A and B are shown apart, each in its own frame.
Chain A
Amino acid sequence: NAGVMQNPRHLVRRRGQEARLRCSPMKGHSHVYWYRQLPEEGLKFMVYLQKENIIDESGMPKERFSAEFPKEGPSILRIQQVVRGDSAAYFCASSPLSWEETQYFGPGTRLLVL
């Protein structure tokens, strides 16, 4: 039973480029959450999605960041025109039902903006 998968594991971008981070939830899970972790910090919630719906995006920066979870395929976190401050580890988690349920985390994507 494969866990949450994220790719790429490491991503290097120059300022101004776009970053696309992908997350495949555990089999049978239809709820996906994205978190950001800065060095020496805890995880900060960004967005919660179900298939084709954004349920809560209260933690998403208002500009340049977007997320989707299409009917088919992985969830995508997209960062446009990256800046150095976007460098962080981005984690995806999934749960089987609502977000009250236990969340299982992926290994993360480490984004470095040069």
Chain B
Amino acid sequence: GQQLNQSPQSMFIQEGEDVSMNCTSSSIFNTWLWYKQDPGEGPVLLIALYKAGELTSNGRLTAQFGITRKDSFLNISASIPSDVGIYFCAGRKSGNTPLVFGKGTRLSVIA
């Protein structure tokens, strides 16, 4: 079935560095969401994007809804150890369709 392509699959960064990850699709999505999952827990919503070109921030996190509606990126500035986890993008094609998730980007932060 439809799946979103997330990259990179994993990344190791030093504390204090900025992080960038993205999500692409071959089809258009009308909603893009970014979630974080800690080990043994469910995903927690970080940012929701509803409009092409939209740029939204949540603290040190910034996400953008690509202008083509086929991609989105998430940036984390000045990473800290608690940023460790798996970041998932998710998209919805239209109002009455299920969320489609990417496979995640696994982030490790070295203190």
Asked if B42 contacts A45 (CB within 8 A), the reply is no
B29 on interface, CB distance cutoff 8 Å: no
B96 on interface, CB distance cutoff 8 Å: yes
**Interface stretch among B11-19, B43-51, B76-84?**
B43-51
Closest B residue to A104 using CB positions: B45
Chain A interface residue bracket vs B: 20 to 34
**Hey, what's the 0/1 contact readout for B39-59 against A, CB within 8 Å counting as 1?**
011111100100000000000
A31 to B96, CA, bound (A): 13
Residues in A with CB closer than 8 Å to B45 are: 102-104
Chain B: minimal CB distance from A98 (Å)? 8
A65 on interface, CB distance cutoff 8 Å: no
B34 on interface, CB distance cutoff 8 Å: no
A102 to B90, CA, bound (A): 12
Given contacts A42-B3, A107-B41, contact A102 B100 (CB under 8 A): no
Q: Which 5 pairs between the two chains have the least Cβ-Cβ distance?
A: A42-B101, A105-B42, A45-B98, A43-B101, A42-B103
Chosen A-B contacts, 29 in total, with CB atoms closer than 8 Å, are A4-B42, A33-B98, A40-B103, A41-B103, A41-B104, A42-B90, A42-B102, A42-B103, A43-B43, A43-B99, A43-B101, A44-B1, A58-B98, A59-B98, A91-B42, A98-B95, A98-B96, A100-B92, A100-B95, A100-B96, A102-B48, A103-B45, A104-B45, A105-B42, A105-B43, A105-B44, A107-B40, A107-B41, A108-B41
